[in-house]
Every structure is written in C-alpha cells, then in structure tokens.
Amino acid sequence: MAEITAWFRSWRLRSWRTAAVAALVLYALAGFFLVPWLAKKLIVSQALARTGRTVTVEDVRCNPFTLSLTVRGFAMPDRPGSTMLSFSELYANAELSSLFRWAVTLKELRIEEPFVALRRFEDGGVNVVELMRDIEARTPSEPEPREKSGLPRALLQHVEATDASIEIENRALAEALRVELGPARFELHDISTIPRRQGGHDFVIGLPQGGELKIAGNVVVEPLGVDGRVEWTGAFLELAWPEIKELFNFDLVGGRVEGRFDYAAALDERGLRASVENADISLRDLALDMRSDGARVLELPSVNVTGGAIRWPEAVIGAESVVVERPVARTWIGPDGTPGVLELMPRAAEQRVEARARELEARMHWVLDLGRLELAGARAEIEDRTMGEPILHRIDEASLVLTDILTRDGARWGIEASALVNASGRGTVKGEVSAVPLFADLEVGLQGLEIGGLRGYVERFAPIELRSGTVRSAGRLHVEPDGRDPDLVFEGSFAIDRIDLVETVLGSQILEWGLVEADGIRATYGPTSLRVAGCDIHGAGIDVVVNPEGRVNLLELLLAMAQRRQEAQAGSARLPPIRIDALRLHDCGGAYIDQTMSPEFRLADEPGVPARARAGQRRADRHLLRGRRRGCDRHQG
C-alpha cells in the first residue's frame, strides 16, 4: 500500500504517465461514444450514396478494448414500403494479431435473424437487378491499373448467420407467388484471401412443408473455388409451379423431390470450370391435370436418377441410369385429327419456348450421355375422337430400355421394348436407334392382336362390320432417311386368323376365313410402295346374297366402296404401287343365297368340308334350284 501511495505522490502532471492515462481515456471515450455515432452516420450516408436507398439503423455499439462492433436493427428497402435486406443484430470481433500477421483478421462475425427478399414487382422489375444497376450508376469509373493487384490479405475465422429467412416473391403473376425459406443457418470458417488457403462452409436451409436443404464443403478465395455436397429432402415442385404455369394448359399436382450430389466449381485465368457428380435424385407422386376439364394426362409415381453428372465447359449432362416406374399417360386425337399433346401448351407459349431453346442451342451445344433409360410397368390410353363414337386404345404392361444414349453424331443406342396392346396383342421391338442422324434397325413383332375393336376404322373406308380377327406379324424395320434408299423399309410377314366380315348395306355376312398369310413383304415409305411375294388364304368363304328387293350384297358393297374411295381421294395423290407376286387359295368355299324366292334358295360350298361331301351337296342344291324354278314357272303360267 505504501508503494502505491508513493507511486501516486511521484506523479507529475507533465509526464509519460499522464499522457498514457489521457490517451487511454480518450481511446475509451472515442471507442464507446464517438465510433458508434460515426459508424451509424457512415452506414446511412454510404448506403444512400452507393445505392440511393435510405437504410435505418436502430443502434451501434463499440467496445474498443475487445475490438468489437455491434449493429442492431438494420433494414434496407428495395422500393418504398418493402424491405430487401435486414437483420436484428450484427456482431464483429477483430483481433490485434492482424498487426503481426500482415492480414486483417476477424475473429468472429455473427448475424442474427438476417432477412433477404428476392422480389419481382408488378411492372416486371427485379429488386436485385435494380440494386446492382443503381450501385453501378453511382460508382465512379476508375482508370485501369497497369498491373493486376490481388485481394487484400484478410482472414475470417468464423462467420455465422442464425435464424435466417429468405423470401421469394413474384408480384407480376396473375396470382402472386410468395415462398418463404427458413429458418436457415449459414456458417463459414477460416475464410482467407491468402492464396490457396482452404476454408469451409456449412449451410442448412429450411424448406416449406418441413423439408431441408444442406450444403457443406470447402472454399478457397484465391483462386476462387468451392466443392462439397448438397442434400435435400421434402422439396415440393407445386410450390414453385405458379412461376411457369402460364406456359401450359395443365396444372401440376404433387411432386416431391429428394436427392444429393457432389459439386465443384473454380474460376481462374482459364475461365469457369464446374461439375456435378454422383447425383442421386428421386421424384415421387407427380401428376398433371388439364386446366379446362381436370382430366389427368400424366402420372409419375416414381422416377429415380442414379449417378447423374453435369460438366462445364465440356457441356455434358448425363447419368448412369434413369428409371421411370409405373408411369401412366393419357391423351387423345381430336375430332379434327389434332393430337392431344398439342393442347398441353398454348401456341404463343410454344413459340416463345422454341425460340428460347434455339437461342440456348446456338450458345451451348450440350451433349447427353445416359447409360440406361428404363420405363417399367408403363400404361397409356389414347382416345380417338375422330370417329362418331370415340375409340379407346390401351397399352399395358409396357417396358422400354434404351442403353448407351449419346447425342453425338453417329452414336447408336440399344433399344428393347414390349407392351400389351388393347388387352390382347403383345408387341416387341429390339435393335439399334440413333438420333443424329436419324437411324433405326429393329426387329419387330406382334402376336395375338384382336382387331374386332377396330371396326370403326374399317367402316370409315368400306360399309363393312369387322366382327373378329387376330393379327400377327414379324419382321425387320429399317429407318435411314439418307436420300438414297427409301426412308423407311419393313420386311417380314403378316397374318390374320379367323376373320369375320359383315357388309352393312344389306346386313349380310360377306367374308370369313380361317387364315390369311402374307410372306416376303417389303413395304417402303419415301417413296411409298408395297410388294408381297406370296399370299395364302386358307378356309375362306364368301357369301353372295340377293335380298328380297333383288339387290346383290357384293355389288352393293363394291359400289359403296367405290363411292367412298372417290370421296376420300378427292384432290389427293394416286394410290401407291402395290404388287402381289402370287395369290394362293386353300380349301375355300362360298354360298349363294337368293332371298327373292320362298323359301329362300341356298347354294353353299363351305370351307373345311371334304370335297366329296361338298360335291354331293352342290348336286342336291342344283336339283333343288331347278325344282323351285319349274314351280315358279308353273305358278306364273
């Protein structure tokens, strides 16, 4: 105690002690009172000068001894009445070690309850774009430096934003879109401008309806580069659908996306290099409903992408596999023949999208590289409304596998597909296809297709009712529009079993057969032609009927077909050339029925009956006919 008292007694007003204390007091007064006032004034004035926006700050505090600064209640508007950026508190803590490291060191930067709004206004303006434009207009131009200087040396040891929220709003839509993301947490550590010094980042963003987005990895400031992993759960597509729904005539229902991928990006003197690797993405329970009548046109219960990748500047996008399970598609052909898929998008929107696609294609030539595309358990319904009564066609149990899909010139893809057609026939396809240039070499087959349901199409061209028949076919289909050979060639066989035709002019059975086989078929398109090496007809029977009014069914049928053919071909090109080298009839027969007589006269030679029995039946029919004619002559006499 005596030593302390002696020390104060030895104090002189003019001494280094007085100067040190005075400096400490002034430093404290300036730090606690002057710096907050200056900082608040500087924040407001600089924001106005740089952005043209008047920001508000509730309070600023400074602790000169801990080198910390606290800013509370900050808010920046984008337009009067709406906030673009705000936070409840910003705390920054520097270190004296900056003086010894030759680098500005910030030990801690903490932001509480930050808020960011990405907003599009009614007039189409975007707040971020407007802010950047205003900053650029208020930034004085500076002469280009002779030598490129690097970034100032700085180190951010820990940066954290807690309870953050992000608002995405589009007021330019007919129905304003507003999506809130959060709460979110952003964390950076060891971020430095010292060349090749690596730091880390960790972001967690809450998604609507309980989903979550996680981003974690590494970051290098000089040269700029980031890498890491992205994972998300519970992302719902319908939340963002209002942003683009004006481009379509349908509404999106459901659609939950989850997934993960690795990412990397770097910017240096060579430009931007970026990649996405190991992407595993799943889409669940997506549906599309027509806006006009609510008809469901597409259902996607499950879509899985495995091993997805995007690489730039290579401009490659691909995946190891894409598997679509149990999809259901429904479409139609309108009364005027217009495919229903053309009604999914308004014409004006279609033109806009096509123009944008051509523009992007001209700028970036992307290559698709997909190892395997698979559709499993698919189903489709096509309603043909061109007929008086709509005809529904169904495709069930469909599967499709495309392999080695590459959109570079000359690349060949493997294809294998099968489907159940109209609940009866099984169609199969196997071979190779190519998109650039267009090419296909396929083995195709069809077994057991019941064609009785196609009677409406037959009646359009002939007054015939198709009651039954089963089709099968097999062959090879080649497509290669190279300008030398026909664009499309089918070579194979075709057969129809158990056909039954009834003409609808007089209502009599006109034709039936047990089997028709055509072999050595060569059908081409571009130019169009048909050649058949041989056609065998087994067990055919034709009925010629004279009705009570004396009209012959076969003649009436031919006249009606000729009239319809003239109507269908009015103004159209001639029929393509058709050639059948050989036509062979096996075990065929027929019947002549005269209903002008009472009782009616019938002369039959039925297919499948032994020749001896048919000959005896014909003799009996002739005796009966002569007897009826003599009876008629006596009656007339």
Could you report the per-residue pLDDT of 536-549, keeping only the tens digit for each? 988 888 888 888 88
Distance CA 497, CA 517 (A): 9
Backbone angles phi, psi at 468, to 5 degrees: -160, 165
The pLDDT assigned to 8 comes to 52
- Are residues 459 and 432 part of one domain? no
Mean pLDDT across the stretch 372-388? 93
The pLDDT assigned to 631 comes to 41
- Going 468 to 474 to 478 to 484, the CA torsion angle's sign is negative
Query: Is the model's pLDDT at 626 over the cut of 50?
Result: no
Distance CA 366, CA 313 (A): 10
Query: Is the model's pLDDT at 522 over the cut of 60?
Result: yes
| Interval 556-602: pLDDT, tens | 777 777 776 666 555 455 667 889 999 898 888 888 888 888 888 88
Among the three residues 204, 222, 240, which one is the final residue of a domain in this structure? 222
Which structural domain range is residue 59 located in? 16-136+152-222
Assess if residue 471 is contained within a domain.
Answer: yes
- Are residues 388 and 500 part of one domain? no
The pLDDT assigned to 65 comes to 84
The fraction of the chain above a pLDDT of 90, given in percent, is 48
Residue 150: pLDDT band (50, 70, 90) is: low
- Are residues 459 and 324 part of one domain? no
The mean predicted confidence, pLDDT, of the chain is 84
| Interval 305-315: pLDDT, tens | 999 999 999 99
Spatial contact of 263 and 227, defined as CB atoms under 8 Å apart: yes
Other Cβ atoms less than 10 A from the Cβ of 378: the count is: 20
- Are residues 456 and 432 part of one domain? no
Copy the structure tokens of residue 192: 């430095």
DSSP for 607-637, written as a single string: TTS-HHHHHHHHHHHHHHHHHHHHHHHHHH-
The pLDDT assigned to 613 comes to 39
The pLDDT assigned to 121 comes to 93
- Are residues 584 and 489 part of one domain? yes
- Are residues 478 and 407 part of one domain? no
Q: Which of 22-26, 309-313, 345-349, 626-630 has the lowest mean pLDDT?
A: 626-630
Residue 12: pLDDT band (50, 70, 90) is: low
Query: Is the model's pLDDT at 361 over the cut of 80?
Result: no
The pLDDT assigned to 54 comes to 93
Spatial contact of 321 and 308, defined as CB atoms under 8 Å apart: no
Mean pLDDT across the stretch 405-430? 94
- Are residues 292 and 398 part of one domain? yes
Assess if residue 380 is contained within a domain.
Answer: yes
- Are residues 38 and 100 part of one domain? yes
The fraction of the chain above a pLDDT of 70, given in percent, is 85
Residue 468: pLDDT band (50, 70, 90) is: confident
| Interval 182-223: pLDDT, tens | 899 999 999 888 888 899 999 999 998 889 999 999 999 888
The pLDDT assigned to 142 comes to 64
Query: Is the model's pLDDT at 474 over the cut of 60?
Result: yes
Pairing type for strands 177-192 and 224-236 reads unpaired
Residue 616: pLDDT band (50, 70, 90) is: very low
Among the three residues 411, 437, 463, which one is the final residue of a domain in this structure? 437
Distance CA 140, CA 222 (A): 26
Assess if residue 268 is contained within a domain.
Answer: no
Assess if residue 446 is contained within a domain.
Answer: no
Assess if residue 505 is contained within a domain.
Answer: yes
* Domain total in the chain: 3
Assess if residue 240 is contained within a domain.
Answer: no
Query: Is the model's pLDDT at 457 over the cut of 60?
Result: yes
Mean pLDDT across the stretch 90-96? 84
- Are residues 478 and 500 part of one domain? yes
Residue 637: pLDDT band (50, 70, 90) is: very low
| Interval 97-117: pLDDT, tens | 555 555 677 889 999 999 999
Mean pLDDT across the stretch 49-63? 93
Among the three residues 550, 566, 590, which one is the final residue of a domain in this structure? 590
Assess if residue 444 is contained within a domain.
Answer: no
Mean pLDDT across the stretch 248-266? 95
Residue 333: pLDDT band (50, 70, 90) is: very high
Which pTM does this prediction carry?
0.80
Query: Is the model's pLDDT at 146 over the cut of 70?
Result: no
The pLDDT assigned to 439 comes to 92
- Are residues 392 and 501 part of one domain? no
Nearest CA-CA partner of 50 in 119, 151, 115, 140: 140
Spatial contact of 220 and 196, defined as CB atoms under 8 Å apart: yes
Mean pLDDT across the stretch 450-473? 81
- Are residues 174 and 72 part of one domain? yes
Backbone angles phi, psi at 40, to 5 degrees: -65, -45
Q: Which of 82-86, 168-172, 544-548, 559-563 has the lowest mean pLDDT?
A: 559-563
- Are residues 494 and 431 part of one domain? no
Other Cβ atoms less than 10 A from the Cβ of 381: the count is: 15
Query: Is the model's pLDDT at 634 over the cut of 50?
Result: no
Assess if residue 75 is contained within a domain.
Answer: yes
Q: Which of 6-15, 427-436, 493-502 has the lowest mean pLDDT?
A: 6-15
The pLDDT assigned to 2 comes to 60
The pLDDT assigned to 376 comes to 97
The pLDDT assigned to 409 comes to 87
Distance CA 302, CA 299 (A): 9
DSSP for 122-154, written as a single string: TTS-BHHHHHHHHHHHHSPP-PPPSS---PPPE
The pLDDT assigned to 602 comes to 82
Q: What does the chain come to in residues?
A: 637
